[in-house]
Amino acid sequence: MATIILDAGHGPNTAGKRSPDGKLVEFRFNAEVAELLRHYLLLEGVDVFYSHENSRDVPLSERASIANRLDADAFVSIHANAFGNGWNEAQGIETYMYPQVSKRTAALANLIHSSMISACGRKDRGVKTANFAVLRETKMPAVLVECGFMTNREEAGLLLSRAYRVQCARAIGFGILSWLYHEKIV
């Protein structure tokens, strides 16, 4: 049976991670998408664990340690993006992986990203590389998904909506399941 670690990026008390008007707190979006995604994956017979907690900001090294200790098949970190502190025109979905990755990790990133673009209909900002701690310190394929910009009025509205959160969870789930079947893990 496959094991996936879901990571709702940041934490409930992380300063500044919100829309300019304060209506959208990033962790609330991330945590709800992770919860919806967990339910979807459990229905498909996948074991799911969280690296975050709803009551405290879990340090990045601890998140990676949890995933490594559980020897998960993959680690997926869920985020809402931001550009600066005020409203602006930056928009779209992007997916990150560590610069030196295996073909398995690149496949996971590409499958999740293409599923998100197809399902959500937002601007395609591409699959990119970054030296993020949760991507660098995890021993399994790991990706970080940015589901839209909190600093774009239109996307902030989407990020606040239950329908878009469900859409994101299903799209990420489809990408993960496609990868698991391709890897013959399920």
Residue ranges of domains in the chain: 3-183
Full-model pTM: 0.97
Task: Collapse the DSSP code of 53 into the 3-class scheme (helix H, G, I; strand E, B; otherwise coil) and give the result.
Answer: coil
User: Which superfamily, per CATH, for 3-183?
Assistant: Zn-dependent exopeptidases (3.40.630.40)
Closest of 97, 65, 75, 104 to residue 7, by C-alpha: 75
Interval 140-150: pLDDT, tens = 999 999 999 99
> Which residue bears the tokens 């909506």?
161
* Helix locations, 13-121, DSSP H: 26-43, 60-69, 103-120
42/108 Cα distance (integer angstroms): 19
Higher pLDDT, 186 or 69: 69
- List, by residue number, the catalytic residues: 146
Average pLDDT, the chain: 97
Mean pLDDT of 147-154: 98
